Amino acid sequence: MYKIFLAWRYLLSRKIIFLAVGGIAVGVMALIVVTSVMGGFSKEMRERIRGTSAHLNITSGDSYFVPNFQKVIEQIKSTEEVVGYAPRLEWGALLGSGLNFVQIIGIEPLLEKNVNAYEKYLSHGTPLEFPEKTWNNLPPVIIGNQLKYDLDDIISLTTLKLKSGIPVPVRQDFQTTGKFRTGMFEYDSNIYIPLKTAQDFLGVDEGVTKICLTIKDYRNVESVREQLRQKLGSLGYFRLNTWEEEKRNLLRAVATEKNINAFLLFFIVVVAAFNILALLTMRVVEKTKDIGILISLGARPYGIMWLFIWQGLLVATIGSVIGVIAGYTLAYYLNPIEDFIYHRSGWKLFPPDIYYLEKIPSEINYFTILIIVIATLLVSLLFSIYPALKASRLNPVDALRYE
Amino acid sequence: MNNTDRFAEFILPPVASLAHRGGRNEGLTTSKIILKAENISRRFRSGNGFIDVLKGVSLEIKEGEILSIVGPSGAGKSTLLHIMGLLDKPSSGRTLFKDKDLYLLSMGEQARLRNSSFAFIFQFYHLIPELNILDNILLPYMISYSVVGWKIRSRVLKDKAMSLINRLGLEHRLSHTPGQLSGGEQQRVAIARALITDPEIIFCDEPTGNLDSQTTSEIQNLIVELNRQNGKTFVIVTHNENIARCSHRIIRLVDGQIVETK
């Protein structure tokens, strides 16, 4: 019973120990705030990726274009779980006169609305539709805002079309009738054009490279995929990928960024745990005589070891509690705090024009907080072991003689 | 009535102080051997060589006796005390407590013996400076009890310690830490701590070496009274001739060997 009791008394007797508590608290607080912001950011990114992607995408397994396109559509329509579909023609092109590579996506706007939340990201009040006719009779396009063109600008696209199997360069002018922004470069440098216009531009009648599907309940995606695979088996070789499989690399990049940030910030906790190591090592020297007294009173080396481990764990526990309270509060009130700083100093911590976010995304995850606290306690335990072992190996006679 | 008399009155019925009589303690009636050291040697490394501090010391300690170990500085008195009290290991030889070889016991059994059967009183008191008097006295119990055991028994144990404190006349110092007490008060707390677990042998290493003559006399009386009335066995390393005179036997140690037994 003496171990916790005496560890607590030892802690209270020296103010310097609160430096170690403060270090742990700052580390835990920083980790909670950063993982919350990164979690919120990651969720926002995922929402955006999800919003601009369909549940399931059908592409050809062995050519550019989806074979038997009309028959495939018929099979899709007859699948009960599928609530929306949209054919797409995705192709590469050069924009303007330079080597500015863009992706052009031919879409049918009415069908496209059923497969993603793309319209949510349109700006300038332009709906996801193309006018019948532009003022100079050029085909209409909707462009991502990474492309430095304005509405009603004329843009020129150059691509290769296949003529009898031989690629032939073609060039055509278009007029921008809409702009959009998602906050992600991958999407914001795309150009959307009507499907029919894209097919004419590339000289492929009724050719599409992808069919996007929306499913009634995304949790059933695997059974729908299997159904479609069986139905489409006789029509050719197809790939059926979910949006998560299609955007795997992007999703992984977002998750990796979050994990790397957490990993790097964890070094604050490691540095704070070094404080524990230093302070406990100092305490072992200071308390050498006490160790001898305790052994003479019947304490075992194992008990002496735990006396010092408890000191490290108490520092880590108090620091973690303070860090969790401070970190949670900061993550919860991040935006009011940011507003406060902005109104007082004029400094915008999180400029909305960089990430297209009105406020700092923050998602507090209790499981993450638990992991942070457990990791902090484990690291502190690890750093307490060395001085604790040193204390437990002291010779009682030498310890009693220590001055 | 001074503090020592009050303490003695609590531990045992009042008797005339032996120290005041100024003679040898000859009241030992038992011949049962409680602790036996057989051919104890202790060698320490010193630079490139070795120093033999104890050279085959053998002695027997009878239950209920006060044994004083005297001798010049560096004779090996404290080393012998530490070996008999399980704080140090002999280089050769063995120590038997109630016929059990102490150094064949496990570490846990050794710690249990130090906690409940043995007790130590040191020259420099060796109290824990962060703890108040009550907690210092209760420390041996805190070591032996688990958290649950302590929760169950703490009230009884605290009452026992409080009685000791009251009898020591230190109740007004209850919340004080050792640094706020005089040397004599600190040594009384150390004695109370040694007695609280009701040990069978109390090892004293120069118990009055840091006290004035008045307090030395009080502590000396206390030891004698505890021995006479409670039958406590004391092994005392001392330079103080008065304390030595109050013991049943005196062993003189010179250069790591017993040269005289009185």
pLDDT at residue number B11: 43
Q: Do B140 and A298 touch (CB under 8 A)?
A: yes
Compute the half-sphere exposure of residue B126: CA atoms within 13 Å on the CB side of its CA. 31
Is the pLDDT higher at A268 or at B167? A268
What are the structure tokens assigned to A261, written together? 């940030």
Best CA proximity match to B191, nearest among B236, B155, B257, B143: B236
Q: Which of B88, B116, B130 sits opposite A397 (nearest CB)?
A: B88
Domain spans of chain A, in order of start = 2-48+250-401, 54-246
Q: Is A402 on the interface with B (CB under 8 A)?
A: no
Q: Is A296 on the interface with B (CB under 8 A)?
A: yes
| Choice among A114-123, A229-238, A304-313, B57-66 with the minimum mean pLDDT | A114-123
Residue B172 carries which side chain, given as an amino acid letter? H
Average pLDDT of every residue of chain A:
86
pLDDT at residue number B244: 79
Q: Do A303 and B143 touch (CB under 8 A)?
A: yes
Average pLDDT over residues A13-39: 90
Average pLDDT over residues A186-192: 83
Chain B residue with the nearest C-alpha to that of A293: B126
Q: Is A180 on the interface with B (CB under 8 A)?
A: no
pLDDT at residue number B8: 44
What are the structure tokens assigned to A306, written together? 């735990």
Q: What Cα–Cα distance (Å) separates residue B130 from each residue in A8, B138, B175?
A: 10, 14, 11
What are the structure tokens assigned to A178, written together? 């809409």
Which residues in chain B are closer than 8 Å to A299, comparing Cβ atoms? 111, 143
Mutation for testing the B interface, residue in A12, A296, A394, A401 having most B CBs under 10 Å: A296
Q: How many CB atoms lie within 10 A of CB A19?
A: 15
Cβ(A28)–Cβ(A379) below 8 Å: no
Q: Do A297 and B127 touch (CB under 8 A)?
A: no
pLDDT in tens, A122-163: 654 466 778 877 788 889 998 888 888 888 888 999 988 877
**Beta-strand (E) ranges in chain B?**
33-46, 49-62, 66-70, 92-97, 100-101, 118-122, 201-205, 233-237, 249-254, 257-261
**What ipTM was estimated for this complex?**
0.86
Q: How many CB atoms lie within 10 A of CB B167?
A: 19
Which residues in chain A are closer than 8 Å to B136, comparing Cβ atoms? none
| In chain A, % of residues over pLDDT 90 | 31
Average pLDDT over residues A175-179: 87
Mutation for testing the A interface, residue in B139, B144, B153, B203 having most A CBs under 10 Å: B139
pLDDT in tens, A387-401: 999 999 998 888 887
| Distance separating alpha carbons of residues A144 and B171, to the nearest angstrom | 84
pLDDT at residue number A244: 85
Q: Which of B108, B120, B149 sits opposite A300 (nearest CB)?
A: B108
Local structure of residue A66 (DSSP, 8 states)? P
pLDDT at residue number A403: 61
Q: Is A397 on the interface with B (CB under 8 A)?
A: yes
Residues of B with CB under 8 A from a CB of A: 82, 85, 87-88, 107-108, 111-116, 120, 122, 126-131, 135, 139-140, 142-147, 149-150, 193
Q: Is A5 on the interface with B (CB under 8 A)?
A: yes
- In degrees and rounded to multiples of 5, residue A395 shows phi and psi of -80, 125
Residue A91 carries which side chain, given as an amino acid letter? W
pLDDT at residue number B140: 94
Cβ–Cβ pairs < 8 A, chains A and B:
72
Residues paired with A106 in a beta bridge:
A89, A193
Q: What Cα–Cα distance (Å) separates residue B35 from each residue in A298, B57, B59, B87, B157?
A: 18, 13, 8, 15, 29
pLDDT of A349 above 70: yes
Q: Which of A10, A290, A296 sits opposite B120 (nearest CB)?
A: A296
Average pLDDT over residues A37-64: 83
Average pLDDT over residues A334-349: 86
pLDDT of A354 above 70: no
Best CA proximity match to A48, nearest among A124, A127, A144: A144
Q: How many CB atoms lie within 10 A of CB A265?
A: 19
Collapse the DSSP code of A153 into the 3-class scheme (helix H, G, I; strand E, B; otherwise coil) and give the result: coil
Instruction: Mark the ranges of chain B whose per-residue pLDDT is less than 50.
Output: 1, 4-23
What are the structure tokens assigned to B41, written together? 């040697």
pLDDT at residue number B7: 45
| Distance separating alpha carbons of residues A54 and A56, to the nearest angstrom | 6
Q: Is A295 on the interface with B (CB under 8 A)?
A: yes
Local structure of residue A128 (DSSP, 8 states)? S
**Beta-strand (E) ranges in A243-383?**
none
| In chain A, % of residues over pLDDT 70 | 95
Average pLDDT over residues A20-40: 91
Average pLDDT over residues A228-232: 88
pLDDT in tens, A59-82: 988 888 888 888 888 888 888 888
